[in-house]
Structure 1
Amino acid sequence: MTSEAEAAAANPVRKSLLWLVAVGFFMQTLDATIINTALPAMAASLGESPLRMQSVVVAYALTMAMLIPASGWIADRFGTRRVFFSAIVLFALGSVLCALSHSLGQLVAARVVQGLGGALLLPVGRLSLLRTVPRGEFLQAMSFVAIPGLIGPLLGPTLGGWLVQYASWHWIFLINVPVGLAGCIATLRYMPDLRGVVLKRFDSVGYALLAFGMVAISLALDGVGLRQGGVMVVLIFGFASIVAYWLRAARTPEPLFSPSLFHVPTLSIGLIGNLFSRLGSSCMPFLVPLLLQVSMGYSPVHAGLMMLPIALAGMAMKRFATPLITRHGYRRVLVVNTILVGCTMASFGLTAPGQPMALHLLQLLAFGAVNSLQFTAMNTITLKDLDGSMASSGNSLLSMVQMLAMSMGVAAAGAVLAGYNGIFGTDTPAHTLDAFQATFASMGLITVASALIFWHLPSEVRAPHPAQPEVSGQG
């Protein structure tokens, strides 16, 4: 009788915890997408070119990629309640600093602060659920938490466009403040203070090598403030740092990510495929709103609404992913679909003023559908063969690679766009349209090339493991 009473009392608290983690996840995903339609207005306010605003997106994604490997250790060391509370405070503080920024440099620095908070919201929230929700209810709990990961990208671009057009770009950050305050109060009330039973030693040297490598490679791709020679130097140092990490990990007792993970063929192919496939496709939420506003003359609200078909098609495609993979197998689905993703991206290179709206909607729907299938297939093939001892580490590594690919993809797209601007010029919308068209074609070609990676998957692998959900929030 006592155990039943305790279970009944714990159930409302558990539901409140689910809502708390879900709202934190919603804040993270909303802020990752709400900024894209606001970039031209922000550029005009800060006296910058709208075609060179990618560092605002890169700073947020790259900071998240850097902190994800340390999130589990930080939560075990300081407790889930304290870390989740600090994450919300950092996120809200970064949002205020973003709104108060008067230069691009200040805005990028504020986005780093925001990214520090955002990087901890989902991993720490997921860890708290893993340790409090009964094993039989965990998949259902994670499915509930994953819903905001779909709603955030659905609302983000439209809400961002509406706020820019009818208020100012500052409000896309200020709306996080009241949500953050409510989240802080709820955290103190509902978040359990959980810590690791055995706290293993943190691989600080390995973490420094890995973090430096990610930052250096992303900065080299972005090329902000670097001359051509400097880009090559930073790029080489970045790759050297990554290689040094893996060489060191092979002889370290407790590395951040064990090289033994790569003994699982599906994980190694899935991770590399994730990196190169997302390197192309992750630039689309950045490029499409810019194209519509800078070269096509769309208003921020109109540009935001045009992003809705991508999210809606992505949600609708989820139900068809498993039957397609079961029937045709991972290799065939990923090879063919990667080519389709690249081709739909390249099709935006044919966009021009005066074309029928129906054609643009068809392009957006097609890209949203194939891109959603791509994320589902890549995520499940990467994690499906990991046993319990490697699942947590593999999941963190996949999350890091996803955020790294996002930052590198936007940085690379910005650099390619800048290069084509140098060729075509930026003095008229027609010239910028030429640069956008060439950039879409180039990034689509990069995505098509990544299909060669998935060709190495075993042909007999056909169905996702029924107990392996898709990684929440990453597509």
Structure 2
Amino acid sequence: MPSARRITLVVASALFIENLDSTVIATSLPAMALDLGVNPIVLKLAFTAYLVSLAIFIPISGWCADRFGARTVFRAAIGTFILASIGCALSNDLTSLVAARFVQGIGGAMMVPVGRLIILRVVEKRQLVNAMTWLTIPALIAPLLGPPVGGFITTYYHWRWIFWLNVPVGLAGMVLATLIIPQVKADSVPPLDFRGFLLSGLGLSTLIFGFTLLGAAVLPQRDALLLVVVGLTLILLYLRHARRAPHPIIDLKLLAIPTFRASVAGGSLFRIGTGAIPFLLPLMLQLGFGLSPFASGSLTFAAAAGALTMKATAGPILRRFGFRRVLVANALISAGLLGAIALFSGSTPHLVIVSVLLAGGFFRSLQFTSINAIAYADIDPPRMSRATSFAAVIQQLSLAAGVAFAALVLEASQAARGGGPLAVGDFVTGFVAIAALSGSSLLVFLTLRPDAGAEISSHSVATAPAVTEGRGTRG
């Protein structure tokens, strides 16, 4: 069998492509809108199509890998991502671009979880920490490179090259996956909850797309509202199905665990607010302040740099203050830094912009790390895979809802002043709204006990009245 390092590097390379592609597109939105002849706000559909596709197909990725083999699924995921990238590059209208982005999401949904599953299945436990360290590099470096790379390509070449670059890199990944990745299958595979997959997938996609289309001149508003109603109906049907199914694709019983419930509910509010940043910020810098895509990307990368610097400090901060205090205080700090973006103007020094974005990236990353960690504080091993799928689905849906919410606020602000091109004031309203939404997540985190997640944070709460074996939050 190939060495663990070689296997990890192949998986990490594939994840790098997926992470890079999802960040470079944000800087190119105004240029893409101009080329396709659509309102820049309408390109929210290119964002949400990808994120919704991830949310639909992530829950079945593990089942597919167990049933058909990890190498087969991983290689097919890369191939799907390549073909969808070609479709994006050749898109001549909004419909074809959104469709290609949705297919790209299918590839990404299979590539990321299956890649992690391969590492967990083939790497020895004593090498697992080192392997997972390598695997986190794409998630840290790609968002750092994405905005300036996307801005450079868009400014000096053409936005379509963003997608064409995926082709040779992806083909190389498929060859390496064939040569290096082992074919791993599970000994026994539980039956797929196909009815649950259809109800949840159709319900979530219809609801999010309907909400995204509200206020847009793509469909009549009556049809958009009809999609929302149909989506809600299908989700209600799934809720009834999940209570009866022996192996539901999304296990709602996990919400009975207080720490997991707080992570899902509070994390969703926080991500809906912060998920709008990649959509709102490049539009404001380019359409509001008149910066080029490259200049815009050279500023927005600071948020990713701030997130990168946080990684070494999260552990000590959580040990010192504990999850509850960090999540509550950090929700306020992050919301304040989001609101500070609303104070930017065309004359704001770039050093000030970079400083605010750097600080915002640091505190948002600390919040994400804390939310993700406390989700699994009281999850027992048999339910870990179901909790991971549940959390991943909610995360992608929250990000998609964030883009849709921000676009709706922009459209409402436009309409309130009588229409016309996007103005700086529209973005001010948008950033104030998402800051308020992110900040409201502290109301959920306040419900946590002081010793919540103490077993994984190593935080000692001397004043806590009852701490039973470090698991005072189990419900």
User: TM-score, structure 2 length as denominator?
Assistant: 0.92
Partner of 1:288: 281
Distance in 2 (CA, whole Å) between partners of 1:254 and 1:394 is 13
- Paired residues of 2:318 and 2:457 also in contact (CA < 8 A): no
Give 1:389 shift: 0.5
Is 1:92 aligned to residue 82 of structure 2? yes
Partner of 1:179: 169
Distance in 1 (CA, whole Å) between partners of 2:195 and 2:392 is 21
- Paired residues of 2:414 and 2:420 also in contact (CA < 8 A): no
Mean Cα deviation higher: 63-72 or 352-361: 352-361
Is 1:146 aligned to residue 136 of structure 2? yes
Give 1:45 shift: 0.8
Partner of 1:213: 203
Partner of 1:472: none
The amino acid across from 1:54 in the alignment is K
Distance in 2 (CA, whole Å) between partners of 1:319 and 1:122 is 24
Give 1:76 shift: 1.2
Partner of 1:363: 356
Deviations 1:14-42 (A, max 9, x none): 22211110011101111110100011111
- The alignment of Structure 1 onto Structure 2 pairs a total of residues equal to 455
Distance in 2 (CA, whole Å) between partners of 1:273 and 1:422 is 31
Give 1:124 shift: 0.8
Distance in 2 (CA, whole Å) between partners of 1:462 and 1:117 is 34
- Paired residues of 1:314 and 1:368 also in contact (CA < 8 A): yes
- Paired residues of 2:322 and 2:457 also in contact (CA < 8 A): no
Give 1:422 shift: 1.4
Distance in 1 (CA, whole Å) between partners of 2:157 and 2:418 is 32
Gap change, CA 1:88 and 1:329, over 3 Å in 2: same
Distance in 2 (CA, whole Å) between partners of 1:226 and 1:278 is 27
- Paired residues of 2:374 and 2:453 also in contact (CA < 8 A): no
Q: Of the candidates 137, 145, 153, which is equivalent to residue 155 of structure 1? A: 145
Distance in 2 (CA, whole Å) between partners of 1:355 and 1:13 is 51
Mean Cα deviation higher: 450-459 or 287-296: 450-459
Q: Of the candidates 312, 323, 327, which is equivalent to residue 305 of structure 2? A: 312
The amino acid across from 2:43 in the alignment is M
Partner of 2:212: 222
Distance in 1 (CA, whole Å) between partners of 2:356 and 2:392 is 28
Deviations 1:37-73 (A, max 9, x none): 0111111111112232111111111111110011011
Is 1:22 aligned to residue 15 of structure 2? no
Percentage identity across aligned positions? 36
Give 1:363 shift: 1.6
Distance in 2 (CA, whole Å) between partners of 1:276 and 1:378 is 11
Mean Cα deviation higher: 372-381 or 272-281: 272-281
Gap change, CA 1:258 and 1:49, over 3 Å in 2: closer
Is 1:197 aligned to residue 190 of structure 2? no
Gap change, CA 1:168 and 1:425, over 3 Å in 2: farther
Q: Give the match's secondary structure for 2:342.
A: helix
Q: Give the match's secondary structure for 2:22.
A: helix
Q: CA RMSD in A?
A: 1.7
Give 1:237 shift: 2.8
Structure 2: 5+ residue stretches without partners:
459-475
Distance in 1 (CA, whole Å) between partners of 2:226 and 2:149 is 41
The amino acid across from 2:324 in the alignment is R
Give 1:262 shift: 2.1
- Paired residues of 1:325 and 1:462 also in contact (CA < 8 A): no
Partner of 1:448: 439
Partner of 1:4: none
Q: Give the match's secondary structure for 2:244.
A: coil
Partner of 1:65: 55
Give 1:464 shift: 6.2
Structure-to-structure mapping, 1:92-131, within 5 angstroms: 92-131=82-121
Give 1:357 shift: 2.2
Q: Of the candidates 415, 428, 452, which is equivalent to residue 461 of structure 1? A: 452
The amino acid across from 1:444 in the alignment is A
Structure 1: 5+ residue stretches without partners:
1-9, 468-475
Q: Give the match's secondary structure for 1:306.
A: helix
Distance in 1 (CA, whole Å) between partners of 2:283 and 2:10 is 34
Distance in 2 (CA, whole Å) between partners of 1:304 and 1:261 is 40
Partner of 2:255: 262
